[in-house]
Structure formats: C-alpha cells, structure tokens
Amino acid sequence: MRGTLRGEPRVVRVAAAQMGPINREHARENVVARLCALLHRAADCGAHLVVFPELALTTFFPRWFVDDISEVDHYYERDVPSPVTAPLFSCARERRVGFCLGYAELTSEGHRYNTQVLVDRDGAIIAKYRKIHIPGHASNEPSRKFQHAERYYFEPSGEGFGVWNAFGGRIGMMICNDRRWPESYREMGLQGVELILCGYNTPVNYLPDPSQDRLAGFHNSLVMQSGAYQNGTFVVGVAKGGCEEGVDSLAESQIIAPSGEILAKTVGNGDEVIVADCDLEWCKNYQNTLFDLDYYRRPEAYVRSQHQRGPRTRADGSPLL
Ligand code: ING
C-alpha cells in the first residue's frame, strides 16, 4: 500500500452543463446556441472543462419507433465538428474551455453509435467514446407509453472503456446506462482514472417496473457515488432533464468526489450550470490506501466476472463454472 502521498494540487475546475428538454422541432442551430450559452456561463465561472449530457444535440429520439430507420438519419451526426456544431468548437477555443459532448453518430460505414467526444481547451478532439451498455429494447413495443428503443437505434461498442491524459490528469468517459454497471468504473479504475465524465438521459418512469420510479434520483446518485468511491475517482453526471416531448426526465446532475461525496448538484431541471474545483490529487487518498487495486484486488478469485454474462447454476443451485 503506497499511502496517500498527495503531491501539489492538480485542480481542474469542472462544470456540469445540464440541459432542459430538446423537442423535435428544436433546430440544431438553436441547440448549439444553448450549448454555447452554457459554455460561456461555465467559462465565466472559470471552468476549464464543461460536461454536456448524452445526445445533447437532439431530442431523445429512441422514445419513438420508426420502421424505416433512415427516417431518423437526421438525428445522427456524420462528422463532428460539422458546420452546425462548429460554433461550439469556436466558442470553446475562444474561451479556452474544453468540453465533453454526447451525440448520435452515424459512421461512413453505416454504423450507429451513442457517442461522446472529449475536446481540449483549444478545440481539438482528444478522444471519442461509444456507449457499451445499451439499455431498453430493439423492436417496437406499441403497448408502452413511450419507447426506449436504444437497442434498435444504437450498436453496442466493442472498443472498451478508455482513459486519456488530459486537463492535467487521467480522464475517462461513459454514457448513461454505463453508470449503472460497476464494471464501467473498474475498467477505468484499472487504467488509473481520476475523473469520469458521463452524460445521461433518464426517464423518471421505468416502465418495466414502476416501483423503481420513486427511487430514480436515489439510484442515480447511488451508482455514481459508489463508482467514484470504489475507484477513488471524481465522477461528473450530467442530465438532459425536464419534460421532453411528454416524458419526464431525471435532472439531478452532480459532481462527485473520490470520497463519494456530492460536491455540487443541480436544483432545477432545465439548462443549469454547476461547478466544482476537482483536485485530482484527492484520488490518491483512496487509490493509494483502501482502494489500492494492485495491492488488494484478487483477480484470481474473480473467475466469473470476466467471461460469464449472466448467472449460471445447476438445477440443485450448485455453482456452474
Ligand atoms: N437511459 C437509462 C439509464 O440507464 C433507463 C435507461 C431508462 C434506466 C429508464 C432507468 C429508467 O439511465 C439511458 N439512456 O441509458
């Protein structure tokens, strides 16, 4: 165990730029203008890095099912930046503020991903992450009040979780449902992550089990606070909140410390900026002690979590390897 050994502070002033609803009729230009306004507000607070929500350029279109998927091609970006998103990159360059932006990606080969890009303070793209855990369903379920057909509109990424050197530390990314799976944090924890950026669009009503609705906010904080603490990393969760096209979406964007404490949390469910000074050296208090992964983990005992997808037992309940 290495002990805390905290060095000189490495403070990144991070902003969570929560968005309110984006409706179908909202033109991309208007949305980009909102994103620029949020970036300016964050820059005025001295932020170095601004985190935007998942699918921050469009309405959450997986809430509808269309038989011909090409009808929704206009919700996807073929290139980022593009003429319509260029103003955000210019705004970032002008204010010397980096950002993380979620959007729907359509590649030249025709692949569709739920994607996030990390952009540095001079507007250059550092990294791209494509969503790994795709929730919801893949075919139309007409009995639902609204669809959550992400498995129809997006392919799961096979590229894994990455961590990049940026903003003076080790930065990782995940998207929405990824935050509910402990593997997401640990995959980045095993790459020395110090700050995880996560956008989300989360309906308050979980139609498969309405008993979970009243716990939407609790579960949102629970998973991100746990992931932060168990890997000694900051976590920034940023919502597209409010009632979007008739669907109530959870807000409660928050910035969480390696201790698991919430440093800042939004109070509204519209466009709102919260900011926190994240001293990345704080990670050492956990990564070099209680969660010194190299000292305490026992991968030789974790025989199932690598290769087994779901539970497997014999009829008598005895374990099946
Ligand atoms: N959304 C959800 C999430 O994991 C979901 C999936 C929907 C969870 C409704 C709970 C209730 O937050 C996305 N986009 O992954």
Q: What is the pLDDT of residues 214-256, one digit of tens each?
A: 999 999 999 999 999 999 999 999 999 999 999 999 999 999 9
pLDDT value at position 192? 98
Please name the residue whose Cα sits nearest to atom 5 of ligand 1: 202
Mean pLDDT over each residue of the chain, to the nearest integer: 97
Active-site position among 36, 100, 176, 198: 176
| CATH architecture assigned to 11-290 | 4-Layer Sandwich (3.60)
CA distance 53 to 31: 12
Catalytic site includes residue 176: yes
Q: Is the Cα dihedral 280, 283, 287, 289 positive or negative?
A: positive
Q: Is 318 helix (H, G, I), strand (E, B) or coil?
A: coil
35-49 pLDDT, tens digit per residue, is 999 999 999 999 999
pLDDT-derived band at 3 (thresholds 50, 70, 90) equals: low
Q: Is 112 in the pocket of ligand 1 (CB under 6 A)?
A: no
Token pair 């959007």 in the structure block, residue: 103
Q: Is 269 in the pocket of ligand 1 (CB under 6 A)?
A: no
Catalytic site includes residue 245: no
Spell out the residues 6+ positions from residue 57 whose beta carbon is closer than 8 angstroms to its own: 22, 28, 31, 32, 77, 85, 101, 103, 104
Query: Given a cut of 70, is residue 151 above it in pLDDT?
Result: yes
Q: Where are the beta strands (DSSP E) in 27-111?
A: 49-51, 98-106
pLDDT value at position 40? 98
113-139 pLDDT, tens digit per residue, is 999 999 999 999 999 999 999 999 999
Residue 203 DSSP symbol: B
Q: Is 230 in the pocket of ligand 1 (CB under 6 A)?
A: no
